[in-house]
Amino acid sequence: MNVPVAASVVTVLPTTNVLGPVAVVPITISNAVGDDSLPFLQYQIGENTNWQNATILSVDGTVYGSSPRVAALPTGSSHTIYWNALSDLGLINTNITVQSSAMDVTSMGSWSPPVPFQINTGVSTVPTNTPFNFTSIASLPAGIVFNWQGGSNALLYLQRTPALAGTNVMWINIWTGVPSPFNFGSYTDFFGTNKMGFYRLKIVNP
Q: Are 7 and 104 spatial neighbours (Cβ–Cβ below 8 Å)?
A: yes
**SS3 category, 85:** helix
pLDDT in tens, 140-192: 777 888 887 777 667 788 888 887 776 677 888 888 877 666 677 788 888 65
In the chain, the amino acid numbered 135 is T
Kindly report the CATH number that applies to the domain delimited by 133-204: 2.60.40
pLDDT of amino acid 187: 81
β-bridge pairing 38-45 and 52-53: antiparallel
Name the phi and psi angles at 73, rounded to 5.
-70, 155
Residues β-bridged to residue 68: none
Phi, psi dihedral angles at 85 (to 5 degrees): -65, -35
Residue 194 vs residue 61, higher pLDDT: 61
pTM of the model: 0.63
CATH, domain 9-120, list 1.10.3470, 2.40.30, 3.30.200, 2.60.40:
2.60.40
Q: What is the pLDDT of residues 3-44, one digit of tens each?
A: 446 789 999 999 888 898 888 899 999 999 999 999 999 999
pLDDT band at 124 (very low <50, low <70, confident <90, very high): very low
Question: Which pLDDT belongs to residue 179?
Answer: 67
Stretch 187-204: mean pLDDT? 75
pLDDT of 138 > 50? The answer is yes
Contacts of 101 (CB under 8 A, 6+ apart): 8, 10, 39, 40, 108, 109, 110, 111, 112
Domain boundaries, the chain: 9-120, 133-204
Q: What's at 101, amino acid-wise?
A: S
Cβ neighbours for 3, distance < 8 A, ≥ 6 positions apart: none
Same fold, 9-120 and 133-204: yes
